């Protein structure tokens, strides 16, 4: 990103997944629900026949028939504050938050057969992975894998909201992934237990999600406030799912004013033309003013409207503008790393085109080579190559708008940069690692639906075989909170109109995006330029037309 007013004496794709009419539905869709007769339901687990629900007020464990919600078993909990529940195939494990202890119970007899004092004093969540117990402690911001013989910690990594206020209570393993419910963000997070990272998340069905359970096909969630058991869809219908449509109108313009005293002989302005993508659908064709001289495409397939102006006199202003109406969507890619193909599965045309070196990347530089070696190591899975590069950049850089758009080695060595410079570094490292990557450039809704953007935003897309092009925003996701990092890997908000896709050195846009211009002059000239996008909600725009007759 950079300021778009400039005053100087001389200012010397291959398509991924197609957009379908239906974007499918993602995990977390409610497939069924069962009201409970319990006042304070907390922990939840599945024993192969019954859903066991802990009730905090009565300190009981309740076996619920998932077909009708009837409580068919009831056991006294081993402590007075039962929170997390887990099932290991033989025993019912109960995490008591008051005792900071995990108890093992024989459900057939109701006898407590083991007690494991915890290192953590504020853990609430509990899960069983088939071999060991796991706990979640939001106050400490950690998830621990435990030795079930003495309660000591084998492995720890940050909880989804570590570093930010959260309350992770529900836990369950589903398909080898650790699911964690947080009642403050009202989201359910999917984590990779091997790497200890959040993969993605989805909204919880109720306002106070506590326990989670996996029955082999469905994810179950109990909600403390609604006193309801929810049966949730566990996977997405397609690689990406979109929601929250936003109807907007954008007027984007690039204006140039000459202060002379010479004459600007030629001015060529190129406005990038947006198209339908998973995160956006255009309503009609863009409207240009004045009429473009021609429509051209660069080597990345990016179309631009080309405007040619001649003999611009001192004190004269010329403007090229584009009006776009579009539906913008929040989009989330749901990716299983083990289902991502290998680097060898990437189509050769994409590999060749989107792993090249160029003027901003300079990936043969020792700074980039060293960074790739440190970040990627022996990793071969394209998903984890991208995730490790993403995290490496965030660990070694901080956001700062300094100077211009420097080349990737300079930016990484300096340790700071703008969104464009974060993008250059990630492109450089991905290309050096053999992973295809390109960028998206956009105009951004800045807070209010009616707003002006003259700063803009750019991020990366990586190509993952079996999933296609996936958005990755290394500057937007630069946070110590795992959930925030995950939100910007494979996720987009509904506040961006993507105008530009490419990988730099464009014949029309160079390394710019949204628009670019080239000019010639006779004599000395001073020029001022403004690039800006003005947003109006489409509903408001329609109301204005109706009231004014325009």
Secondary structure in 3-state letters for 411-427: HHHHCEECHHHHHHHHH
How far apart CA 379 and CA 394 sit, in angstroms, is 19
CA 33, 21, 204 angle in degrees (round to 5)?
Answer: 25
Is beta strand 6-8 parallel, antiparallel or unpaired with respect to 219-223?
unpaired
Which tokens in the block code for residue 72? 């068919």
DSSP 337: G
How far apart CA 415 and CA 395 sit, in angstroms, is 9
Which of these, 300, 353, 307, 363, lies nearest to 510 by C-alpha position?
300
CA distance to 134, 248, 450, 512, per residue, from 502 (Å): 44, 24, 28, 10
Q: For residue 323, how far is the Cα from the chain centroid?
A: 28
How far apart CA 384 and CA 369 sit, in angstroms, is 18
Which of these, 76, 40, 37, lies nearest to 57 by C-alpha position?
40
| pLDDT score at 24 | 60
| pLDDT score at 279 | 98
Element holding 1 (H helix, E strand)? none
The domains found in the chain, sorted by start residue, are 6-12+242-329+509-540 (2.60.40.2250), 30-232 (2.130.10.10), 331-502 (3.10.620.30)
On whether the CB atoms of residues 47 and 61 are closer than 8 A, the answer is: no
Output the CA torsion sign for 487, 492, 495, 499. positive
CA distance to 159, 198, 236, per residue, from 192 (Å): 11, 6, 17
Nearest 10 degrees: Cα torsion 221, 225, 226, 228: 30
The radius of gyration computed from the CA coordinates of the chain, to the nearest angstrom, equals: 27
Secondary structure in 3-state letters for 77-140: CCCCCEEEEEECCCCEEEEECCCCEEEEEECCCCEEEEEEECCCCCCCEEEECCCCEEEEECCC
Whether this prediction's pTM lies above 0.75 is answered by yes
Per-residue pLDDT of the chain (550 residues; tens, 9 = 90+): 333 222 222 222 223 333 333 456 889 999 999 999 999 999 999 999 999 999 999 999 999 999 999 999 999 999 999 999 999 999 999 999 999 999 999 999 999 999 999 988 899 999 999 999 999 998 999 999 998 788 788 899 999 999 888 899 999 999 999 999 999 999 999 999 999 999 999 999 999 999 999 999 999 999 999 999 999 998 888 899 999 999 999 999 999 999 999 999 999 999 999 999 999 999 999 999 999 999 999 999 999 999 999 999 999 999 999 999 999 999 999 999 999 999 999 999 999 999 999 999 999 999 999 999 999 999 999 999 999 999 999 999 999 987 689 999 999 999 999 999 999 999 999 999 999 999 999 999 998 889 999 999 999 999 999 999 999 999 999 999 999 999 999 999 999 999 999 999 999 999 999 999 999 999 999 999 999 999 998 764 443 333 333 3
């Amino acid at each position: 990103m950079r300021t778009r007013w400039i005053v100087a004496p001389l200012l010397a794709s291959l398509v991924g997944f197609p957009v379908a009419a239906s974007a499918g539905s993602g995990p977390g869709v409610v497939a069924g629900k069962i009201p409970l007769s319990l006042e304070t339901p907390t922990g939840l687990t599945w024993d192969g026949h019954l859903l066991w629900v802990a009730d905090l007020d009565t300190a009981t464990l309740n076996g619920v028939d998932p077909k009708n919600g009837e409580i068919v078993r009831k056991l006294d909990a081993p402590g007075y504050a039962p929170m997390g529940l887990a099932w290991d195939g033989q025993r019912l494990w109960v995490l008591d938050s008051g005792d900071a202890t995990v108890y093992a119970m024989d459900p057939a007899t109701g006898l407590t057969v083991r007690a494991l004092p915890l290192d953590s004093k504020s853990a609430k969540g509990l899960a069983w992975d088939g071999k060991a117990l796991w706990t979640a402690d939001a106050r400490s911001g950690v998830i621990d894998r435990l030795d079930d013989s003495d309660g000591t910690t084998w492995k720890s990594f940050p909880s989804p909201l570590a570093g930010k206020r959260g309350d992770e209570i529900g836990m369950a393993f589903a398909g080898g992934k650790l699911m964690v419910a947080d009642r403050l963000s009202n989201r359910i997070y999917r984590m990779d237990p091997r790497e200890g990272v959040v993969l993605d998340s989805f909204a919880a069905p109720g306002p106070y999600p506590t326990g989670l359970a996996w029955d082999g096909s469905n994810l179950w969630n109990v909600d403390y406030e609604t006193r309801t058991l929810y049966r949730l869809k566990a996977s997405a219908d397609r690689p990406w799912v979109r929601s929250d449509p936003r109807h907007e109108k954008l007027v984007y313009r690039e204006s140039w004013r000459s202060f002379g005293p010479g004459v600007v002989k030629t001015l060529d302005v190129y406005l990038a033309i947006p198209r339908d993508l998973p995160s956006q659908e255009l309503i009609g064709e863009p409207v240009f003013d004045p009429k473009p001289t021609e429509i051209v495409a660069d080597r990345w397939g990016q179309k631009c409207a080309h405007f040619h102006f001649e003999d611009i006199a001192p004190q004269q202003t010329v403007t090229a503008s584009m009006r776009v109406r579009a539906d913008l969507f929040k989009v989330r890619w749901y990716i299983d790393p083990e289902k991502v193909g290998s680097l060898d599965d990437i189509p050769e045309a994409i590999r060749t085109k989107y792993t090249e070196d160029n003027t901003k990347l300079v990936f043969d530089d020792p700074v980039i080579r060293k960074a790739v070696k440190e970040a990627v190591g022996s990793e071969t899975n394209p998903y984890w190559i991208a995730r490790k590069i993403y995290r490496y950049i965030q660990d070694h850089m901080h956001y700062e708008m300094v100077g211009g758009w420097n080349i990737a080695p300079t930016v990484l060595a300096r340790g700071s940069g703008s969104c464009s410079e974060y993008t250059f570094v990630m492109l450089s490292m991905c290309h050096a690692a053999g992973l295809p990557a390109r960028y998206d450039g956009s105009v951004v809704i800045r807070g209010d639906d009616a707003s002006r953007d003259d700063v803009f935003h750019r991020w990366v897309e990586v190509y993952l075989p079996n999933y296609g092009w996936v958005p990755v925003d290394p500057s937007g996701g630069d946070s110590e909170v795992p959930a925030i990092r995950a939100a910007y890997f494979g996720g987009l908000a509904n506040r961006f109109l993507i105008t530009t896709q490419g990988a730099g050195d464009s014949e029309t846009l160079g390394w710019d995006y949204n628009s670019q211009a080239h000019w010639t002059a006779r004599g000395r000239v001073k020029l001022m330029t403004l690039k800006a996008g003005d947003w109006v909600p489409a509903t408001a725009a329609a109301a204005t037309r109706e009231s004014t007759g325009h």
